[in-house]
Structure 1
Amino acid sequence: MSQSLEGILFLFSYRMDKLTICNFSAIPVPNPTTSVSLTWSPLLMDINQVATVEANVIACLKASLEDEAFSNLVKLIAINRITNGKKMMRQAQYLACLSYGYQFIKGSGYALQSDEHSENARKCLLSCASEPARPNDSDVVGDSANSRTMMLIILLTYYTLARSKLLLNRISTEHTNSEVSDDKAESRTERTTCSSSYLDVTSLLLRPGEGFFPPLKHLQIRLCTLLGKALANQEKLLTAEEHYSKGLELTGNLFGQNSAETIPILQALSQIYQKRPGDDAMQTVIHLNEKLMKISRNRQDTEGNSPFLYFCYGFDTSRRTSTFNLPFNLYRSP
C-alpha cells in the first residue's frame, strides 16, 4: 500500500472527534413509488428538480429500491451538467456521491468504477481553486455554508477514494484473517444525529446522517478501521493496533463497551496480536477472545444462536453474516 493512501486516511480522521453532534429533524422525502418524473428540458431543469431527485435517492434507499436509487444518482450527473454547466464544485459533488454509491449501493465489486469517479471528483476539487466565486448562486447560502459544503464534498471524495484504492490493492489470500466483517447491514437507513451547523447545506445527499452521507461520528470510526486495515496489510502492526484501538474506543463510547458493534474491531485486534511475539501479546489475544465470547453469549441469550461462537472456537466463520446485522455498516471489509 502506498504512503499516499495512509496520508489520505490520516488527514480525514484527524480532529473529527472535535465536531459537535446534536439532533436535527429529518426532512420529509417523497415516496419512491410516486416520485416526480422529470421533463428533460434545459429550461425546466432547476434546483427544485435537483432537490427532488436527491430526495428520491434517499427515499429509494429507505424502501430498499437500490437499483432505482442508483439510477437517480446517475440522473443527477446528467441534470447537473444541464443546469450548472462547468461549475467544478457541483461536478465534484455529484461525482463524489456517485462514486460513494458505487461502493455502498452496488457493492465492493465496483471498486474500479468508484475509483474512477472519485478521481474525477478530486480533479474537479483541485480546479475549484481557480473557479471564480459566485455569491449569487442559488445553491449557496453564504460563505460559511459554502465552506461546509466543500468540506463534506472533500471528505466524501477522499474517503471513497482511499477505500477504492484499498479494495483494488487487496491481497485476499494473505490478509483474509485480519479482514473486518462485510455483512449486509442496513447502512443506508442510518438516521442518527448530525451537527446542526450542516442544516444550511443545500444538498440533502451531503447532510450527514440523512440517509446517504454517513453520520460524522460513524464516518470517524470507519476511517479509523480503514486506516488500521491499510496499515495491517503493510505489516505495520503497531500503528495498525493504535488506529483499531481508537476505533474501538469511539465505538464503545457511541454504542457501549460490550456492544455487538465492537465485535469486528475486537476480531481485527485479536488477529494483529496473534502476529506479535511474546507472552504479553498472547495474553492480550486470550483477553480479547474472552471478551468476544462474552459479547457473543450475551447476543445468544437475547437473539438466539450467535455466529461468533464459531469464530471463537475456530470453526468456519462464513455463517456469521447470515445472522449478525449491525444497525449500520461501519466496517465494510475492502
Structure 2
Amino acid sequence: MIYEMNDWHHAQYQCCLSYFYIHWKGEKYALQAESHAENSMKLTSYYLNATSWQMNQQNADDPANLLILCIVLLNYYTLAKSKIILKKRKDAFSSIKQAEKALNKVEQLVDSIQKYKTTLENIDNYKDNSKPFENYYQQWNHCTLMRLDKNFYPNLQNLKIYINCLYGKIAFECEKYVVSFDQYMQALKFIEKIYGPESKEMISIYHALGHIKEYQSSEDDMKKSIDYFKKAHDISNKIYHDEESFSSMVELIRSVYLLCTVSMKLNLNLDDTEHLLGEMLQIINTYNEKNDQNSIEYHIDNNSDVSNDLMRIKTDSLDNDNDHIECSTDQCFNSGHEYSNEYFVNLICSLRSLLIKIYIKSNRYQEALKLLEENLNIQEDTFGMYNTRVIKTYKLILSINMVQENFAEAVKQAEMCLDLEQFTFGANSKQAKKTQDILKALSSYKKTGNKVN
C-alpha cells in the first residue's frame, strides 16, 4: 500500500485489509474495517469514473469486470458487518442489501466466464478469442489476495451463506422480523444442500430461527420457537455423543439453555426441563472428570476442530444469547474469542441459574443455595469480587436467606453486598441505598424481635 500509487490497485489492498480486520482480528477492529472498506469503495469509484466504466453498459459481461465486482461485494459485506457491530443499523441494512445485489452479479459473471472458457477450449481460433480471458487473469494478478482461486477470498458458496445470515441478523436488529426469517430460511436450505441436514452448520441457524419466533411473542410463534430449538438440540446432542469434543459440548450447552429458557416461558413441564438441565450439568462434570481437569475452561484454547466456515456462519447468525446469557455480543469467529473464559463461565452459570429458578419455585432453597455457591466461586475466580455478576449472585443468596428467616446470615450477606456495591457503583447509588434499607429492616428485626415484612 505504501508504494502502490494507482487508485485501482490501492483499492484492492484496502479491501483486503478491511476484510482481514473484521474476520481475523475481530469485532474490536470494526472501526478500522469500516474505514478501510469505505476508502476502498471511494478509490474504486475514482477508478471507474476515470475509465468511464459502467456496470450496465456493453462491457458488463467482460471477464475482467469480475475483479471489480468482487471488490465491491467484499467491501459491502465488510461494511455491513462492521456497521452492525458499531450499532449503525440503518447503514448496515443498506450495505447488506448492496452486498446481496453484488453477489448476484458476481454469480452471473462467474457462470458466464465458465461457459466462455468451455467454448474457447472447443474452437479452432482459441488464441485469437482467448484475449478477454487472459485480460481477466492479468487484472487478478495485480492483487493475488483477491484471486478466487486463492485461499484468502472466501468461497462464493460460503460467502452466500454468510450474507444470508448477516442479512438476517441485521434485519432482526432493525425489527424486520419477516425479512430476517426469510434470510435465515434461505441460509438453512443452502446449508442443508451443501453440508447436510444434521450438520454442525445447521445448529446456529435453528437457534436464530428460534429467536425470531420467540421475539414475535404470540403463543403460536413461541411453539414454533420450541420446535426450532428442539431441532438444534437434537443435532447438537447427536454430534456431541458422536464426537465428545469440546466445541460440540459448547453447542449442546447453548442448545439446552435456549430450549429450556423458552420452555420455562411457556410454563411447560418443569420436571422435563429440570431433568434436561441436570443431565447437561452431569455431562459437563463427566467431561471434566474424563479429561482429568477441575475446570472446563482448561480446554478453551484447544478447540481447533471448529472449522472457519462454521465459525463465520455462526458469527453472522443472531447470537442473541446476550439477551439471556451475559456474554459477548456477536461472538467473533476467532476461536479464542468465541470460547473465551468469560463467555464460557457465563454460559455455565446461566445454565445453573435456570435450575436455581426451578428450585426456588418449588421451595427447594438448600439446593438453590448450593448451585448459587458454585456460581459464586467460578464468577469470583473469573471476574473478581467487584463485578455486577458477583454482586447479583450475592443478592440472590441474601434473598433466599431472608425468605428462610435466616436473619443472622442475611445480615452478613447484606453487609457484604453493601461493601461491594459502594465500591462498584458508589456510596449514593440506587443499589447501595436499597441494600442499606434492607440492613435497617434486618437491624430493626433484631431489636424488636418482629419479622421483616
Provide the TM-score with structure 1 as the length reference: 0.60
State the match for 2:260 in structure 1.
none
How many angstroms does 1:235 deviate by?
Answer: 1.4
Taking the aligned partners of 2:149 and 2:9, their CA distance within structure 1 comes to: 21
State the match for 1:103 in structure 2.
22
Contact 2:41-2:75 within 8 A present in 1 as well: yes
Contact 1:270-1:289 within 8 A present in 2 as well: yes
Taking the aligned partners of 1:286 and 1:162, their CA distance within structure 2 comes to: 30
State the match for 1:256 in structure 2.
196
What's the RMSD between the two structures over aligned residues? 3.1
Taking the aligned partners of 2:149 and 2:232, their CA distance within structure 1 comes to: 29
Does the C-alpha gap of structure 1 residues 129 and 231 become closer, same or farther in structure 2, counting only changes over 3 Å? same
Alignment match of 1:149 (pick from 67, 74, 84): 67
Alignment match of 1:246 (pick from 186, 189, 204): 186
Contact 1:115-1:164 within 8 A present in 2 as well: yes
Taking the aligned partners of 2:80 and 2:160, their CA distance within structure 1 comes to: 14
State the match for 1:126 in structure 2.
45
Give the ranges of 4+ consecutive aligned residues of structure 1 lying more than 3 Å apart after TM superposition: 194-199, 315-324
Higher percent of residues as helix: 2
State the match for 1:208 in structure 2.
148
How many angstroms does 1:222 deviate by?
Answer: 0.6
State the match for 2:95 in structure 1.
none
How many angstroms does 1:321 deviate by?
Answer: 7.4
How many angstroms does 1:210 deviate by?
Answer: 2.2
Q: Which moved more, 1:225-234 or 1:299-308?
A: 299-308
**The residue matched to 1:123 in structure 2 has which SS?**
helix
Deviations 1:84-127 (A, max 9, x none): x2x32212111101111111222221111111111111111111
Note the 1:62-101 alignment, pairs <5 A: 77-79=1-3, 81=4, 85=5, 87-101=6-20
How many angstroms does 1:311 deviate by?
Answer: 1.9
2:250 aligned with 1:310, yes or no? Answer: no
Provide the TM-score with structure 2 as the length reference: 0.45
Alignment match of 1:326 (pick from 307, 312, 320): 307
How many angstroms does 1:268 deviate by?
Answer: 1.0
Taking the aligned partners of 1:288 and 1:309, their CA distance within structure 2 comes to: 14
Q: Which moved more, 1:273-282 or 1:232-241?
A: 273-282
State the match for 2:101 in structure 1.
none
Does the C-alpha gap of structure 1 residues 209 and 277 become closer, same or farther in structure 2, counting only changes over 3 Å? farther
Q: Which has the higher contact order (CA 8 A, sep 6+)?
A: 1
Aligned length: 224
State the match for 1:169 in structure 2.
87
State the match for 1:32 in structure 2.
none
**The residue matched to 2:160 in structure 1 has which SS?**
helix
Contact 1:273-1:281 within 8 A present in 2 as well: yes
How many angstroms does 1:308 deviate by?
Answer: 2.6
Contact 2:203-2:232 within 8 A present in 1 as well: yes
**Which amino acid is 2:216 matched to?**
R
State the match for 1:293 in structure 2.
233
2:176 aligned with 1:233, yes or no? Answer: no
How many angstroms does 1:272 deviate by?
Answer: 0.8
Contact 2:204-2:232 within 8 A present in 1 as well: no
Taking the aligned partners of 1:321 and 1:170, their CA distance within structure 2 comes to: 32
**The residue matched to 2:227 in structure 1 has which SS?**
helix
Contact 1:163-1:226 within 8 A present in 2 as well: yes
Does the C-alpha gap of structure 1 residues 100 and 327 become closer, same or farther in structure 2, counting only changes over 3 Å? closer
State the match for 2:163 in structure 1.
223
How many angstroms does 1:260 deviate by?
Answer: 0.5
**Which amino acid is 1:104 matched to?**
H
Q: Which moved more, 1:272-281 or 1:246-255?
A: 272-281
Identity among equivalent pairs (%)? 27
How many angstroms does 1:245 deviate by?
Answer: 0.9
Contact 1:244-1:265 within 8 A present in 2 as well: yes
Unaligned runs of 5+ in 2: 54-60, 90-109, 115-132, 258-276, 285-295, 317-329, 331-453
Taking the aligned partners of 1:295 and 1:166, their CA distance within structure 2 comes to: 29
